[in-house]
Amino acid sequence: MSFLQAVILGLLQGVTEFVPVSSSAHLVLVPWLLGWPSPGLAFDTMLHLGTLAAVLAVFWHDLVTLARAWLGSLRPGAAGTPHSRMAWALIIGTVPAIVLGVLAESYVENLFETPGAVAALLLVTGALLLASEWWARRSQTLEEIGPRHAALIGLFQGLAIAPGISRSGATISAGRFVGLPRTEAARFSFLLAVPVIAGAGATQALRLVDAGLTGESVGLLIAGFLAAFISGYLVIRGLLSYLQRRGLLPFAIYCAVAGALGLALWLAR
C-alpha cells in the first residue's frame, strides 16, 4: 500500500464513519473498484483509533459530564438528573450492538468479502435515511430519552455491524423515529459511537497482538491515523452544523446511487 492510498483510506474512514453513508461499505468497495491491496489488520486498527480520537476530541466535555453524572446516580438514594438518564441511555443503547456483534460475527465477516452484498446493504441505508425524513416526529429532547427508546436506537446500531449499513445513518434514523430532532439524534449517535468504536479497536488490537505485526511501515499507520482523525473531527463539527438547517435526503440519494452502481458493477464483473 502506498502513502497516498493510506491517506485516502484514512480520509474515507474519518468522513464516512460519521456522515451517514457507511464507512465499511466504502472501505470494501473503493479498494475493490480500484484494485488496491487489502490494507491489513494493523492499518484498519489505526483507522478505528483515529475516528475514536476524533469523537473524544469533540465530545470530551460531554463525556466527562456524563461519566460524573452516571457515577453520582450509583449512590444510594441519588436522584436522577438529565445527564445521568442520558448516560444510562447510552449504556443501554450499547448492549444490542455487543450482543449482535457476538452472535453474528462470523456471518458478517463473510460479507466483507462480497462487494455485491455490501452494495445492496448500502441501498438499505438509503431507504432508512429516506424513511426517517418522511416519518420522523419531534416529541422529545435528548435528555428526556428513556430506556425503551435507547434500546431501539441501540438495536439499529447493532444492525450496522453489517458492512453497508451505516452506523451513524441507522442510529440517526432511529433517533428521528423516536422523536429526536436531527441535531440531537446526531449527537446521541456520535456519543453512542464511543464504546462501539473503542470496542472494535480493542478487539482488532488483540487480534493484531495474536497474529503479530505485519510489514506495515510506521509511516503508513501514522498517516492513516491522522487522516482519519482530522477528517473525522471536521466532519462531526460540520455535520452537526449542517443538520441544524437541512435534512438527510442528500445522503439517502447518495447511498441509493452508490449502492445501485456498486451492485451493477459487481453483477457485470
**Residue 112: count of CB within 10 angstroms of its CB:** 16
Asked if pLDDT for residue 57 goes beyond 90, the answer is yes
pTM, rounded to two decimals? 0.86
Q: How far apart are CA 265 and CA 35, in angstroms?
A: 13
**Nearest in space to 176 (alpha carbons), one of 198, 156, 158, 204:** 156
Asked if pLDDT for residue 213 goes beyond 70, the answer is no
The predicted pLDDT at position 43 comes to 80
The predicted pLDDT at position 104 comes to 73
The 3-state secondary structure of 8-21, one letter per residue? HHHHHHHHHHHCCC
What would the pLDDT profile of 227-261 be if each residue is shown by its tens digit? 999 999 999 999 999 998 888 999 999 999 999 99
Query: Cell match 439499529: residue?
Result: 156
Mean pLDDT of the chain: 85
> What cell numbers appear for 196 in the block?
462501539
What would the pLDDT profile of 79-115 be if each residue is shown by its tens digit? 678 888 888 999 999 998 888 877 876 677 677 778 8
DSSP string, 222-237: HHHHHHHHHHHHHHHH
What is the chain's percent helix, strand, coil content, to nearest 5? Answer: 80, 0, 20
The confidence band for 225, taking pLDDT boundaries of 50, 70 and 90, is very high
The predicted pLDDT at position 210 comes to 63
Contact (CB, 8 A) for 239 and 18? yes
Contact (CB, 8 A) for 24 and 32? no
Contact (CB, 8 A) for 180 and 89? no
The predicted pLDDT at position 117 comes to 87
Q: What stretches of 112-217 show up as alpha helix (H) in DSSP? A: 115-135, 147-159, 167-177, 182-211
Contact (CB, 8 A) for 118 and 262? yes
User: What's the burial of 246, exposed, middle or buried (CB within 10 Å: 0-12/13-18/19+)?
Assistant: exposed
Residue 214's Cβ-side half-sphere holds a number of Cα atoms within 13 Å equal to 15
First and final C-alpha spacing in the chain = 24
The confidence band for 135, taking pLDDT boundaries of 50, 70 and 90, is confident
Asked if pLDDT for residue 51 goes beyond 80, the answer is yes
Q: How far apart are CA 54 and CA 123, in angstroms?
A: 27
